[in-house]
Amino acid sequence: MKRVPENLLVFSHLRWDFVFQRPQHLLTRFSSEFNVYFLEEPIYDISENGASYLSISKRSDKLWVLVPHLPQGIDKKESIKIQKETLKTFLAKKQLSDFIFWYYTPMALEFSGDYNPDITIYDCMDELSAFKFAPPEIIHLEKELLTRADVVFTGGQSLYEAKKHQHQNIHPFPSSIDKSHFGKARKMLKQPDDQKHIKGTKFGYYGVIDERFDYKLIRDAATLRPDWQFVLIGPVVKIDPEILPKNKNIHYLGGKSYDELPTYLSAWDVALIPFLLNESTRFISPTKTPEYLSAGKPVISTPIRDVVNPYGKKNLVSIVNDAEEFIGAAEVALSGVKEEWLTNVDLFLSKRSWDQTARDMMELIRKAIGRKVSVPLSA
């Protein structure tokens, strides 16, 4: 078997410091196996005549975040050219055979496609082509990435079903959990200042508030039950904040760090997954589902496919279609957490952890490396 490369170069459309989610969970664990270099999309913050540069910040013993800083106002062609030069400089004097390229976005092929690393991995965590403002070229770039990848992971079962015929070595890895982190919320923790003043029954959500978020469901439920409090945590992106409901019992607390989430979650009576059913949510597998359950909180969700199956079918999560159904499910949830339900939750979650997901992925990476055959230069 070939030696496992020492370096993992990750091409991401997500910022490391935006929301702590799948990439951060996996890559912090992979940093025990590799030197992990997390390359973000550029920031255009340099004056027109300024020189581009690559900022590198060390986040742990073997994990670095890389951010290209480019001039403002340049066109896409020039941006790609500079990113190619930046990558070339970063890889100079490094052995490409000692690198794994790990892609979260096919768009990175526009500047990295000239390289042939030892192993290429595509962790397809979302159907990015369905997201708001997705560039049209992402579709054909994903097809190219699928031809290059040695192994493909998907962020959920439904995404796997949609992609499984496009690659011979593709595997589903739904969202997992850090049980010890969220399990702390099973006991009431000291409340943060911006939540402790919110009195009464609390329904909570954390995550990005964007085009996937069903703000009308929250508005209607909050209107029907003004005595219930709705706590919404997360940044507002890709939508106009003015369209969000302004009911007095809806509280927008902004983004919070991963470490803070259990403190907020501990005081909630019911946790929410209020996503619209549209192209951008067709294949999502919300990480918050097992996290909420790990905290021992009843969960109400709209009928997202990867929540309905398995969580809804196993009666671990209540599935609702509108505000009236939401009210009914909420009243049942507020009647008290059932011991049998909690036992079933713990049994289901006992087989899920980010540690296990990382180990299973690592095994597939080792197998992919073992299948690589060196081709003579004269061939």
Query: What pLDDT is recorded for position 337?
Result: 77
Q: Is the peptide bond before 262 cis (omega within 30 degrees of 0)?
A: no
Q: What's the confidence (pLDDT) of residue 2?
A: 63
Both 151 and 216 in one domain: the answer is no
Cβ atoms 299, 268 nearer than 8 A: no
| Statement to judge: residues 127 and 230 lie in one domain | no
Angle, helices 22-30 vs 354-371, to 10°: value is: 60
CA 312/CA 305 separation, integer angstroms: 9
Same domain, 169 and 232: no
Residue 12 lies in a domain: yes
Assigned domain for 299 exists: yes
d(CA 101, CA 113) in angstroms, rounded, equals: 11
DSSP 83-117: HHHHHHHHHTTS-GGGEEEEES-GGGHHHHTT---
Q: What CA–CA distance (Å, rounded) separates 282 from 305?
A: 7
Tell me what the pLDDT averaged over the chain comes to: 94
Instruction: Identify whether residues 67 and 138 lie together within a single domain.
Output: yes
- Is 227 in the same domain as 134? no
- The CA-CA-CA angle for residues 45, 259, 348, to 5°, reads 120
Q: What is the pLDDT of residue 379?
A: 33
Give me the pLDDT at residue 128, please: 86
Residue 375 has a pLDDT of 41
User: How many CB atoms are closer than 10 A to CB 367?
Assistant: 13
Residue 1 lies in a domain: no
pLDDT tens string 46-56 = 988 889 999 99
Q: Is residue 333 located within the same domain as residue 212?
A: yes
Q: Residue 183 in contact with residue 294, Cβ under 8 Å? A: yes
Asked if 149 and 200 sit in the same domain, the reply is no
Low-confidence spans in the chain with pLDDT less than 50: 374-379
Query: Residue 102 falls within a domain, yes or no?
Result: yes
Does residue 166 belong to any structural domain of this protein? yes
Q: Which of 314, 318, 274, 273 is CA-nearest to residue 292?
A: 273
Based on the domain organization, do 220 and 117 belong to the same domain? Answer: no
Judge if 225 and 90 occupy the same domain. no
| Beta pairing, strands 7-11 & 99-103 | parallel
Long-range contacts of 250-253 (CB under 8 A, 24+ apart): 250/218, 250/219, 250/222, 251/195, 251/198, 252/209, 253/194, 253/195
109 and 72 inside one domain = yes
**57: in domain:** yes
- DSSP E strand stretches across the chain: 7-11, 35-39, 43-46, 53-60, 63-71, 99-103, 119-124, 151-154, 170-172, 202-206, 229-233, 250-254, 270-273, 299-301, 318-319
Instruction: Using CB atoms within 10 Å of the CB of residue 277, give its burial: 0 to 12 exposed, 13 to 18 middle, 19+ buried.
Output: middle
| DSSP 8-state assignment for residue 350 | T
Q: DSSP code of 32? A: T
When divided into structural domains, the chain yields a total of 2
Identify the pLDDT of residue 338: 87
Tell me the residue range of the domain where 318 lies.
179-349
What CATH number corresponds to the domain at position 292?
A: 3.40.50.2000
Does one domain contain both 204 and 169?
Answer: no
Element holding 359 (H helix, E strand): helix 354-371
User: Which residues, 6+ apart, have CB-to-CB distance to 188 below 8 Å?
Assistant: 266, 267
Is residue 2 included in any domain, yes or no?
no
Rg (CA), the chain: 22
Domain co-membership, 162 together with 188: no
> Residue 174 to residues 29, 171, 272, 297: CA-CA distances in angstroms?
17, 10, 19, 20
